[in-house]
């Protein structure tokens, strides 16, 4: 086996890692833009006048919730197929949407 044959799988693996990383980063970054967490962080920073401390606290909280999501996702992936998880997530989101719509209609 030559040197180039040995390095090829590493490059493919690195490309896969960067693909997973970049898609995760972009998805979470866009999902978090302008959400209630970002607005709460903005308000806390404005009130406390301590942006570095607020940043560290917010970053630690987001890392903790992300870790929880990764651990639960890993646990679910070992027990259920991706198709089952997709179906369950879609069904749950649909159920939540119907409940919110019902609540909005009931209030009027």
Q: With a threshold of 0.85, does the pTM exceed it? A: no
Give me the pLDDT at residue 29, please: 87
At residue 66's C-alpha, the angle toward residues 61 and 89, to 5°, is 130
Residue pair 32/38 in contact (Cβ under 8 Å)? The answer is yes
pLDDT digit string (tens) for 37-81? 889 999 999 999 899 999 999 999 999 999 999 999 999 999 999
CA 72 – CA 70 distance, rounded (Å):
6
Q: What is the CA radius of gyration of the chain?
A: 21
């Amino acid at each position: 086996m030559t040197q180039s044959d040995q390095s090829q799988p590493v490059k493919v693996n690195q490309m896969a890692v960067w693909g997973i990383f970049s898609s995760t980063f972009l998805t979470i970054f866009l999902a978090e833009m302008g959400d209630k967490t970002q607005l709460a962080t903005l308000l806390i920073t404005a009130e406390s006048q301590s942006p570095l401390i607020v940043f560290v606290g917010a970053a630690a909280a987001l890392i903790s919730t992300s870790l929880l999501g990764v651990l639960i996702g890993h646990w679910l992936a070992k027990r259920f197929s991706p198709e089952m998880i997709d179906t369950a997530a879609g069904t749950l989101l649909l159920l939540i949407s119907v409940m919110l719509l019902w609540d909005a209609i009931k209030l009027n």
